[in-house]
Structure 1
């Protein structure tokens, strides 16, 4: 897990420990924007029912895309760090031979 002392040492990366926080923050922001879009769509329905319906559907689709995009980016960052860890292990095994 994340330790405050790791901020001042360069033997261990801290990004894999905190990427989950950034993921959940991005999911929360996406959900808030989706909720805001739904409220805006409901307000727009007073003027144009079809336009409001499209706005709500677009907000829901945008929210789902935002969550999926946040997940893809988070997994990409974690994969980069896992590759680095595995390459380090391979390098250590090669030096022992």
Structure 2
């Protein structure tokens, strides 16, 4: 878990901890945006049923694509940090030295 003293030391990265909180924040914003689009589509159905239905379908597709994109982005950041940790472990084992 993230401790206050970790903010002032460079021994440990805090981004892997923060990215999980950021991911859930983004998921919440995507869900609110999708809900807003669905409600707008319902309102539009009273004026023009085709446009309202199209808006609802577009909002649902956007919701799914947004959630998948947020997950891919978060995993990419975590993978970069994991690669860094593994490279550090290889370096500490005394791998080949280049001058």
| CA–CA separation in structure 1 for the residues paired with 2:66 and 2:40 | 18
Deviations 1:25-79 (A, max 9, x none): 1100000000000000000001100110000000000011111110010000000
Question: Distance between the aligned counterparts of 1:52 and 1:4, measured in 2?
Answer: 49
- Structure 1 runs (4+) deviating above 4 angstroms are none
Question: Could you say which structure has the higher helix fraction?
Answer: 1
RMSD, aligned CA: 0.8
Alignment match, 2:71: 71
Which residues of structure 2 form unaligned runs of 5+? none
* Other-structure match for 2:32: 32
Corresponding residue for 2:23? 23
Structure 1 unmatched runs, 5+ = none
**Helix, strand or coil for the counterpart of 1:94?**
coil
Rounded to whole Å, the distance in 1 between the matches of 2:64 and 2:28 is: 12
Residues matched between the structures, number: 95
